Structure 1
């Protein structure tokens, strides 16, 4: 039995038998238990709203905290990082090197303090709005914390849990995270590292990470006491959650989304070999076994007969390589069965299939969109004569389109985004967001703050007000005043 603590306003609460506990049981026999939140815990969280001192901390200070923890998570000697990797791999089946890749990517982001400032600038316009009242035309503008931001996290991507902790803390909110059953350790282990390095800092005092059951008393109290709810997950989970969120609580939805690739080999750059293109495509389709919203599920490809054959041959090679580099390990029985059943269904429909002998990876050649995509490194390949009908490839649930060659984005970015796409990237970069990106059409930092303003007195006329204070007062006191 694996044991995990929970964190309540920076206090670590262990499984010590003194309170009721929650147990997660997994198909592979792994069991995890952790303490259950009490009424006193929830009361403490709600009473701490904007009272921990975090709103008075500077971005310089906050960035230094994450820099320090990021430095620790770069080390192989970091016990919390290793524990997060170990338990995540046991439960999800993701290979250790994939999870490590995620954590090193995130910790390297924390190490570059300038990157944090750049992210805030890109999202908020100017990070200084978090620190002070900034002139905005005839007003003073300030971005203040919303209060309590509660994130319902998901475990399909290891890095998401940690990033969910970071996002609301960096803009000075009290942060409550519900850990996912799929990856219960990531957020908690990161929180423990924060507490280890900064046990009495406002950041740690503002952090709560725990689990509660759906429709429970704890859930109701936490949701009703929150200022913002960040919902991560699939259609069913988000739809159910939204029915339990009252008016006045802002809701940010991250999911459910799906992604695809668009490739035109007729326009291939001379310096790019088909082998290079295939490997970039294979990386996008292999990461997280397609369980991430940004993982493509389909390819729309335009190519000559010879280039198409060459591409498929190279894609087979690349998918085999990725299965060695990022092994699937154990996956739930239902997932494996879904892949095998989908193969039989598509063969019955008369579609060609190329695949591994087991459920490793699958290519399905079809002129129809999949109705029930099995994920698990399954690629639906649609060969097209042109992209005249490109709008039909996407809808409001389309998150990311990976595109090749890159110059195509200039021609198609408007039609793709007007028809639902949130994000367009180069092939091979679906899982590597660049500074300034939007997340499901949201600028998250901007939504996690309150935009407040002070409007200047009439003494400051600005560009458009053409009367002085005396004239203004005269008009107020005149019955038939006319504004000129």
Structure 2
């Protein structure tokens, strides 16, 4: 929606209530678009620890039922809140409107019963710990009751995937948390639209009463030094970039933990087998292009480097030409023409090409995609549909370029995954998949090398110890 002054209006959502107002003016990071928000009332978004979480005694089955119904109501053709967001997000987010629309159309798939239960069952050996105290006796005969208690969380949402907030909302609901969502400047709309949809089911439902979504400019100490305190929250779940993560770190301390889905980089590994036929080259080039162009290469799982097993430059040129051609097509979550590479990246590529005969460039600086062929990885971070194809004599040798920041590795041929996965894990990689499937996921799999739901909850133990080595006085015969 627009105000009379021409600004975009971004309302807040606080535990079932839509808060509207044009008190504060902000500017989106990527497109520089102004939008207005209500005044942020800190007392309204902080819940006293004297108050138990609204979802504490709500059965997990009821929470899943509610999320599934919300997912069905998020169907874009039937949801006016999501429809209105399309134009708003298009004004603040660098993704094309068509791609945002496709993301919205995929939203119901994030809240299916099978998908939600797969997450719960993979994260918790006994999901009953979410609903109550579960008794256990240790080998010494001592008793304990354990519960996965609801946390109090601030979610710093990412701006590169406008529907990504739905996954965070689901995580917050399944862990029965009290949740405060800090929306990104590139999308200060979608989270509120999703929560409005949930409120239309039942504004008093404990899921709705556990959720608030607001915006403030990251780094605003007048807000953050108040909110980021352990008496109010015990988890900060951060999806932001490096500066955002670094800003949060200074507030961490005893009782306030950071769960960071920090920026990652993904790669492809392509074996010599790709050159067995022209059809194989075409197929793998298409698959690598699909992995590269997810969200126009804004996603962490988007491939940026391709380690190509060949010592034959003509073979490498053939693959690069095929890849450059397939970068320049429209896809469900990527566009044929993306935002242009930054001028400094363009300058660096042109200087490299002029000074190094081993550097070759395929494509133009027109947003349709560029492939840089080299024998060593480039120093800059490929983005805006730039792929760096690196010739390596052996795929095994390419593992030296893998580190803890490597999220997804697309592999061809697929049979070589089993051969290399231990070494890749040892180097720090978090996921290996068939090339071309980076944007698909096995339900319930780890994310960023962890099972996040089990990391989010507050694990509490109630001990009854009957036999113990205590700190009492030693018997005479043991002094």
TM-score band, normalised by shorter chain:
0.7 to 0.9
Distance 1:283 1:313, change over 3 A: same
Query: Which segments of 5 or more consecutive residues in structure 1 lack a partner in the other structure?
Result: 459-468
Deviates more, 1:302-311 or 1:152-161: 302-311
Distance 1:143 1:102, change over 3 A: farther
Contact 2:304–2:382 (8 Å) recurs in 1:
no
Matched, 1:372 2:380: yes
Give the secondary-structure state (helix, strand or coil) at the position aligned to 2:47: helix
Instruction: Name the structure 2 match of 1:466.
Output: none
Structure 1 position 52, deviation (Å): 4.8
**Take 1:75 and 1:25, find their aligned partners in 2: how far apart are those partners?**
24
Instruction: Name the structure 2 match of 1:132.
Output: 132
Alignment of 1:71-110 (within 5 A): 71-110=72-111
Instruction: Name the structure 1 match of 2:192.
Output: 188
Instruction: Name the structure 2 match of 1:394.
Output: 402
Among 156, 166, 169, the residue aligned to 2:170: 166
Aligned residue-pair number: 460
Distance 1:235 1:452, change over 3 A: same
**Take 1:239 and 1:344, find their aligned partners in 2: how far apart are those partners?**
32
- Per the normalisation by structure 2, the TM-score is 0.87
Distance 1:25 1:444, change over 3 A: closer
Deviates more, 1:61-70 or 1:431-440: 431-440
**What RMSD in Å do the two structures reach over aligned CA positions?**
3.0
Instruction: Name the structure 2 match of 1:222.
Output: 227
Question: Residues 228-275 of structure 1, C-alpha deviation per residue, up to 9 Å, x if partnerless?
Answer: 011222222211210122321111111121111111142789998332
Alignment of 1:23-422 (within 5 A): 23-24=26-27, 30-42=33-45, 45-47=46-48, 51-110=52-111, 112-136=112-136, 138=138, 140=144, 142-213=146-217, 214-224=219-229, 225-266=232-273, 273-303=280-310, 305=312, 308-322=316-330, 326-327=334-335, 331=339, 335-350=341-356, 351-422=359-430
Query: Which segments of 5 or more consecutive residues in structure 2 lack a partner in the other structure?
Result: 1-6
**Take 2:199 and 2:27, find their aligned partners in 1: how far apart are those partners?**
25
Distance 1:93 1:39, change over 3 A: closer
Distance 1:392 1:444, change over 3 A: same
Structure 1 position 171, deviation (Å): 0.8
Among 1, 7, 10, the residue aligned to 1:4: 10
Question: Residues 188-221 of structure 1, C-alpha deviation per residue, up to 9 Å, x if partnerless?
Answer: 2111111122211111111111012323322222
- Per the normalisation by structure 1, the TM-score is 0.86
**Take 2:83 and 2:61, find their aligned partners in 1: how far apart are those partners?**
28
Contact 1:297–1:379 (8 Å) recurs in 2:
yes
Distance 1:429 1:323, change over 3 A: closer
**Take 1:49 and 1:55, find their aligned partners in 2: how far apart are those partners?**
13
